[in-house]
Structure 1
Amino acid sequence: MKNSLTLSPIAIAAGALLAAPLAAQEGSAEAAASDRLEALRAEMARLADRIETLEAELAAAKGTADAARSEPAPEPRNATSIVWKGAPKIEGEGGWSFKPRGRLQIDAGTFSAPAATGVADGFGSEIRRARLGAEGDIPGGFGYKFELDFAGGEVEIADAIATYADGGLTISAGHHNTFQGLEELTSSRFISTMERAAFTDAFGFERRLGLSAQYAADAWLVQAGVFSDNADDLSNRNWSVDGRVVAMPELGNARLHLGGSVHYADYEEGTALRYRQRPFVHFTDVRFVDTGWFDAASELGMGLEAAAIAGPFHAAAEGFWQNVDRPGALPDPTFFGGYAEVGMFLTPGDSRGYKRGVFDRVKPANPVGEGGFGAVQVNLRYDRLDLVDAGIVGGTQDGYAVSLVWTPTAYTRFMANYGRMAYRNAVIPAGGDGSYGVDAFAVRAQIDF
């Protein structure tokens, strides 16, 4: 018992000595853990504040981006755009533009005349037109158009024009068409037969060097100009004035065209004129109607024109009277030319194009390349040329023609034409007879841009 009572205080003292450091260690650990916990809480609070700030900044940035997308983007400075209209049209800042242009027409066919005429008929072919040029705009309302024709192994100026436009007014200076009627002013790319009406070539309608103005309103067109001569015939003292007025109202879904033109040309002393025409095809130089050369002091021409377009149907007609003032006491002849035609598209949705007083490009409703066949059109035409008057016997030509036109796309075209020409007083007799018929058939392949 004594031993037990003696050892007990010792054991208690030893346990106290051992417990003190342990308690100290536990207190230090708890303090350190508490400090770390407080630091962690502070860091989490700081991160929460940062996240809230970032969310606010993100919302503000998103709002700015949405607002920017809702507004049209500003045009970049010195921007250049390219659009495609048969060829690339380049448009620059301030009103500059440039577009190459051209056309290629390849013809082949045959014509047949009575053997007694002795003419060399049969097959013929040619590159009818091969033109290349450019057109565009210049800041301030100015523009230009320049085109050369390389057909026939020669280079000729077709158009060489500087223009100024302001609203409906256009002023043109240079080598360009005079204003002698619907058929003449309609581009060869868009006419309904391979060759224009006989009187347009016979009476010498052509481009001339001059200054002109035209004003176009919704339903009216007025054109006038003063000209010298064709570039190939200069220099001389010949001059002319030309004018044309067209009413082009719309009646429901139909477009009407009513117009008139006047042409006066004054020729220098010693000038001789000659009116003649080929038999419906251009690849032959044979002319069965021909006035021969005769002296002329001036000429005065007057024309009337009418047309209508209603859906797939169109009709057109023109008449032109050409009076020639001959020097001295010689009688003054008046010659006549004119035509009448009707046409119909066989493909649904297609119609003949029209713009500013002339027939324009056909744009097929279902072009080839987009699942369609293109536009198919058939045309019937009567064409008359009378070159007999005042003692001049150049003959008369009455043409009866049919044409089939396939337009696969807006810039490609294929044509087939048949014509029957009936002659009286032909300058090439058939066994002494000046009355007979000639047949002509031809086809054309065309692209333009």
Structure 2
Amino acid sequence: MKNLTLGTALLALVAGTPALAETPSKEDLAELVRAQAAEIASLRQRVEKLEAERSAPVVAAASQAPAVPAAAAAVPQVAVTQPYAPQLVPPGPAERDVERVRAAAVAASGVSTEWGAGLPVFHSADGMFSFKPRGRILTDVSTTTGSKYSGRNLTTTGMRALRLGLEGTVGTHFFYQFETDFSENEVDIVTAFMGWRNRIAPGMDYDVRVGHLFNDRSFEGSTGSDSTPFLERTAVATAIIPQRGFYGLGVMPRLFWKTGHASLTVTGDRIDGDQSTSDNRTVLARAHWNPIKSDRQVLHLGIWGFDEHLQPGKNVLTRNTVIGGRFNGALRLSTGTLIGGTGTTGYGVELGGYSGPVWLMGEAGERHARLDNGRPDYVTRAWSVSGGWFLTGDLPPYNPRLGSFGQPKVLHSVFDGGPGAIELTARYENLEFDDIVTPAEGWAATLGVNWYLNSFTRFQVNAIHWNTQNTAGVYTGNDNGETLSARVGVTF
């Protein structure tokens, strides 16, 4: 191969030499031979250098790379970009050896990447920094039949949640989280906070979070939309709530011990960009306790309450609350137009737990909305009883630290050849608006099935029989019907 290359180069050189006008002298021929010999020597050096470079990179890289400690073998290797475009020059043995050496060098540096719930978690070599992308995709379809009003018999689709975000830590104590939701085809900032955490004593620690915070209020009201056992939270969680909703901008210190936690939240309004008037003010507290807590059994007790002061111009108390499914805008329990609120006070209790694969939870709450001009309080009352049974033997996804539901730990993932986790659920809930000119009352009974393919992917189906009695709005009087809803969800 080398001789062929040199011969080709020599022919090209000779072919490129201009013809002599006359017969050269001996001196001319000697000079020409010396020039061609120099060119041939230069070409030989270039060819030998190119061939040496194809076989030597792994040796050079190995001599420059630091020694890899034995512990580094446990650290996952990081993929290295190919030195050439793969569609043009496939990597040969030498290139693959270089990649392995580079990966070993990265592993030896201590930088690691672990895969959790579908997305990587990055850790710096010294443990000072961590970073994780977050995501949530919940897609729903719903159909309603049986209502005496044709405008309520709808089939709709919607994105319950479409979120992107991130979370991370700096050092041992500082942490942060940010999420944006696009589910209504609009940009909506949801969770966005910074925090500090530390240990007070063995078995007791705290954290303080500052920013746009999710309420710690009621059992399912404190559970994320991607973790609820039904497609929609209970009437207690959706109706016994501050006027500002599930989020507020403020501060939340939390205290944790082995069998429970307590939190206090002080917030203004949601993120709205309006600084022309004072914010409403909300103070909210919650505590839960697990008097029984073992590997397969938990007893849950909880109590919570809030007080909210409403500013003039921000005192509309009108409510249209979900009773038979989120994605039917005509199927709501309504108060009619209600203005002149000066504040709200709400409170509730929680009682439940699980034993093995079976769980049960009851909640009840009441909310008093204070009205101006000496009018009596507008009162909202709600209660619910929910339960579930994991046919596959998995434990309910109860989070004893926060007293809420989280992501399940599926014993046998579908992606590992198992059946996943299959859960049967049932719920009854009741809601009423009282002591107003246009009172309303409704209830719903739900049967459901959840199939968790793994710990972060699920299919859910809910069959709901509902009843409403509205005295305001388009759909008044007694009405009932059925709603069938389904969801596919992925949480990262």
Does TM, scored on the shorter chain, surpass 0.5? yes
What secondary structure sits across from 1:297 in the alignment?
Answer: strand
Aligned to 1:169: 206
Could you tell me which residue of structure 2 aligns to residue 308 of structure 1? 353
1:249: how far off?
Answer: 3.0
Pair 1:101-2:138 in alignment: no
Match of 1:79 in 2: 110
Question: Aligned partners of 2:469 and 2:303: how far apart in 1?
Answer: 29
Name 2:289's counterpart in structure 1: 247
**One of 416, 419, 428 as aligned partner of 1:373:** 419
Whether the aligned pair in 2 keeps the contact of 1:148 and 1:156 (CA below 8 Å) is: yes
Letter in 2 for 1:81: S
Q: CA deviation at 1:349?
A: 4.0
How much does 1:288 deviate?
3.7
Distance 1:140 1:352, change over 3 A: closer
Distance in 2, matches of 1:278 and 1:94, equals: 45
Match of 1:336 in 2: 381
Q: Which residue of 1 is the match for residue 47 of structure 2?
A: none
Q: Does 1:445 align with 2:478?
A: no
Q: Does 1:213 align with 2:253?
A: yes
What SS is found at the alignment partner of 1:330? coil
The whole-number CA distance in structure 2 between the counterparts of 1:355 and 1:251 is 8
* Letter matched to residue 361 of structure 1: Q
Cα separation, 1, equivalents of 2:108 and 2:253: 35
CA distance in 2, matches of 1:300, 1:178: 15
* 1:156 aligns to 2:188 (yes or no): yes
- 3-state SS of 2:468 partner: strand
**Counterpart position of 2:263:** 223
Deviation at 1:242, TM superposition (A): 0.5
Deviation (angstroms), 1:392: 3.5
Shift of the 438–234 alpha-carbon distance from structure 1 to 2, 3 Å rule, reads: farther
Distance 2:370 2:233 in 1: 26
- Equivalent position SS for 2:231: coil
Matches of 1:201 and 1:273, distance apart in 2: 14
- Decide whether aligned partners of structure 1 residues 392 and 218 sit closer, same or farther in structure 2, where only a CA change above 3 A counts: farther
Write the mapping of 1:313-392 to structure 2, written as runs, cut at 5 A: 313-356=358-401, 357-389=403-435, 391-392=436-437
Which moved further from structure 2: 239-248 or 392-401?
392-401
Q: Which amino acid aligns with 1:324?
A: A
Within 1, Cα distance between the matches of 2:397 and 2:238? 24
- Provide the secondary structure at the position in 1 that maps to 2:227: coil
Q: CA deviation at 1:251?
A: 4.5
Structure 1 residue 272 corresponds to structure 2 residue 316: yes
Deviation, 1:121, is 2.3
Determine whether 1:282 maps to 2:326: yes
The corresponding residue for 1:124 is 156
Shift of 1:265: 0.5
Distance 1:136 1:251 in 2: 30
Structure with larger Rg = 1
Q: 1:294 to 1:316 in 2, by over 3 A?
A: same
Q: Secondary structure at the match of 1:248?
A: strand
Distance 1:394 1:290 in 2: 8
Single out whichever of 348-357 and 209-218 deviates more from structure 2: 348-357
| Superposition deviation, residue 81 in structure 1 | 1.1
User: C-alpha deviations, 1:146-200, integer Å up to 9, x for none?
Assistant: 0000111101011101010102201000001122111111111111100111243
Correspondence for 2:343 among 283, 289, 298: 298
Residue 81 of structure 2: aligned partner: none
Structure 1 residues 376 and 407: alpha-carbon distance in aligned structure 2, compared to 1, 3 A threshold: same
Cα shift at 1:140: 4.7
**Segment drifting more, 231-240 vs 297-306:** 231-240
Distance in 2 separating the partners of 1:333 and 1:129: 31
3-state SS in 2 of match to 1:215: strand
Percentage of pairs with the same residue = 24
Q: Which moved more, 1:421-430 or 1:95-104?
A: 421-430
* Change in 2 beyond 3 A, CA 1:341/1:426: farther
CA shift, 1:424, in A, is 2.6
Q: What amino acid sits opposite 2:249 in the alignment?
A: L
**Unmatched segments (≥5 aa) in structure 2:** 1-68, 75-105, 200-204
Tell me how many residue pairs correspond in the alignment.
Answer: 378
Counterpart in the other structure of 2:169: 137
Structure 1 residues 91 and 306: alpha-carbon distance in aligned structure 2, compared to 1, 3 A threshold: same
Task: Give me the whole-angstrom Cα distance separating, in 2, the residues matched to 1:315 and 1:223.
Answer: 24
Taking structure 2 as the reference length, what is the TM-score of the superposition?
A: 0.72
- How far apart are 1:245 and its partner, in Å? 1.1
Cα distance, 1:98 vs structure 2 = 0.3
Aligned to 1:58: none
Q: Alpha-carbon deviation of 1:77?
A: 8.3
C-alpha distance in 1, partners of 2:367/2:318?
A: 12
Q: Please report the TM-score for the alignment, with normalisation by the length of structure 1.
A: 0.79
Name the aligned partner's letter for residue 479 of structure 2: Y
Secondary structure of residue in 1 paired with 2:414: coil
Cα RMSD, aligned residues only: 2.4
The answer for the alignment partner of 2:65 in structure 1 is: none
- Per mean C-alpha deviation after superposition, the further-off stretch among 436-445 and 76-85 is 76-85
* Partner of residue 401, structure 1: 446
